[in-house]
Amino acid sequence: MDKYLDCTGEPCPLPLIKTEKEMNKLKIGDKLFIELDHTCSMTNIPEWARKKNYEVETEEVDFGEWQITITKTN
Amino acid sequence: MKRQEFRQKSNWQLIFALIIIIFSIYIYLYLNNSVEINLATSWAFGLIVGFILQRSRICFTAALRDPFLFGLTKLSRALILSTIIITIGFAYIQYQQQLGGLPIEGKFVPLGWHIPIGAFIFGLGAAVSGGCASGTLIRLGEGYKLQWIVIVGFIAGSVHGSYDASFWYQLIRSQKSTHLPQLLGWGNALALQIIFLLLLYLLSYWWEKHKF
């Protein structure tokens, strides 16, 4: 099941800690949508997810607000 | 939000940035012509350093925290690399100063318990506030409301720190500070420091490989 994570207003490293926890719960093929507004996490999370060989997509949805989509592939 | 609207907002931001750049140049010229050249240079360097820190996304807190939390060492390695560059640059400056008979520039503090105690307090603050000194200022400029609270604590802490400073300095006054090049010679000191940093770099590289 896909999961939505709202991390707006949360500073580094909270978004990545939450992402890590959620990704562990997901099954292969599931997607995690993360909404965030902290620039550090915007570099942190995609880097971490790519290292894990997950599929990552990022989009700036508003000024200083991004949505990251991670697909669990393994 | 629609793309169109987003673009229009971006244009407005660009104009605002241009105004600020022109204003900054005006301040530089004013300081340079009517106040003091040193202040103008400091202003220019401050802006350049701030710009590089913001664009490079380097975060000193993350560089020391991410290896332990997530096994990510990209920032730590960037920090180690920049320390190598700083080592070479400062060695050159200090060497020139010593040759010229000038006092050697830099911050020399003897080793002691004040360092781990201070680092612990600083680390606690950095972990809770989500940024060290430079990181806090950058995020303040980027518009994070959280950092407005942090900056109040930052100023209060700094004021209290300088109020208490005499107590801390009293602890270390009797000791002599160490300057490696005077102890080992320039070549050896430089080699020792760079080799140590390279080993740290390799260690963090290996740590990331081990974690993923």
- Evaluate whether B28 touches B36 at the Cβ level (below 8 Å): no
**Out of A12, A47, A52, closest to residue B74 by CB:** A47
**Which among A40, A47, A51 is the nearest to B59, CB-wise?**
A40
B138/B142 Cα distance (integer angstroms): 6
Beta bridge partners of residue A35, listed in sequence order: A6, A67
Tens of pLDDT, residue by residue, chain B (212 residues)? 455 566 566 678 889 889 999 999 999 999 998 888 889 999 999 999 988 888 887 888 888 888 988 999 998 999 999 999 999 999 999 899 888 888 887 777 787 788 888 889 888 888 888 777 888 888 888 888 888 888 898 899 889 989 988 887 777 776 777 788 888 888 999 999 999 999 999 999 999 999 88
Comparing CB atoms, the residue among B65, B143, B212 nearest residue A51 is B212
Peptide bond before residue A13 is cis, with ω within 30 degrees of 0: yes
Q: Which residues does B163 contact at the CB level (< 8 Å), separation at least 6?
A: none
How many structural domains compose chain A? Answer: 1
Query: Does the interface predicted TM-score (ipTM) exceed 0.90?
Result: no
The pair of structure tokens assigned to B173 is 């006054």
Helix intervals (H) in chain B: 3-30, 37-56, 60-69, 74-99, 114-129, 133-142, 146-172, 180-184, 186-211
Residue in A19, A40, A61, A62 to test binding to B, most B beta-carbons within 10 Å? A40
CB contact at 8 A, A58 and A45: no
pTM of the model: 0.80
Task: State which residues form the domain around A29.
Answer: 2-71
Residue A37: give its domain's CATH number: 3.30.110.40
User: Tell me: the pLDDT tens digits for A43-52?
Assistant: 889 999 999 9
Contact A43 B57 (CB under 8 A): yes
Residue ranges covered by each domain of chain B: 1-56, 59-211
